[in-house]
């Protein structure tokens, strides 16, 4: 089965996360949020519902991922100093540059879901912005890398 991520799927997952957080913290969800969740739930197609179930199985691992750390990092740091790829400090041409969105817990964020605006709401930590990541290291972070040239 292919997971599809439509606007409604995204919104549904966002709201579900919000409702779960509110229930965790306050024992009850805001009725405005719960109503919108129900409303969007009614609009989902069967395919979208399957995708929501698939993505809900481990929502946090879909939203955040520990950043890959290259074994070459120390060596590159000694050679080139800080800069370039965030995972290995290898210098990069700006044109080759892919980006990874990080929050203040230093977790990489799934660009399909997490934006600078909803970052705190979804991950409990503010956005730190976008950092360059080289092609090789990006392969280790599949699904968490954004290509600005596409």
What is the CB neighbour count within 10 angstroms for residue 84?
A: 19
Q: Return d(Cα 123, Cα 105) in angstroms, integer.
A: 9
Q: From residue 35, give the alpha-carbon distance in Å to each of 22, 40, 55.
A: 14, 9, 21
* Nearer CB in complex with Zn ion: 47/136: 136
Name which of 113 and 134 has its Cβ closer to Zn ion: 134
Shortest separation between residue 67's beta carbon and Zn ion, angstroms: 11
* Nearest distance in Å: CB 150, Zn ion: 19
Interface residue list for Zn ion (CB under 5 A)? 85, 87-88, 90, 134, 137
Strands 127-133 and 98-103: antiparallel
Shortest reach from residue 90's CB to Zn ion, in Å = 5
Q: Closest approach of Cβ 82 to Zn ion, in Å?
A: 13
DSSP string for residues in 111-123: TTT--TTTHHHHH
Minimum CB distance to Zn ion smaller for 75 or for 105: 75
Which residue bears the tokens 């966002």?
14
The nearer residue to Zn ion, 85 or 107, going by C-beta atoms, is 85
């Amino acid at each position: 089965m292919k997971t599809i991520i439509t606007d409604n799927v995204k919104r549904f997952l966002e709201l579900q996360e919000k409702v779960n957080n509110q229930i965790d913290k306050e024992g009850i969800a805001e009725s405005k949020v719960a109503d919108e969740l129900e409303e969007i739930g009614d609009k989902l197609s069967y395919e979208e519902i399957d995708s929501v179930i698939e993505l809900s199985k481990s929502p946090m691992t879909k939203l955040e991922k520990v950043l890959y750390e290259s074994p070459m990092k120390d060596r590159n740091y000694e050679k080139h100093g800080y800069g370039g790829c965030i995972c290995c400090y290898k210098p990069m041409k700006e044109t080759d540059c892919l980006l990874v969105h990080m929050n203040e817990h230093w977790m990489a964020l799934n660009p399909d879901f997490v934006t600078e605006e909803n970052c705190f709401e979804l991950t409990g930590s503010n956005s730190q912005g976008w950092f360059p990541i080289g092609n090789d290291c990006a392969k280790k972070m599949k699904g968490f890398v954004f290509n600005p040239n596409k």
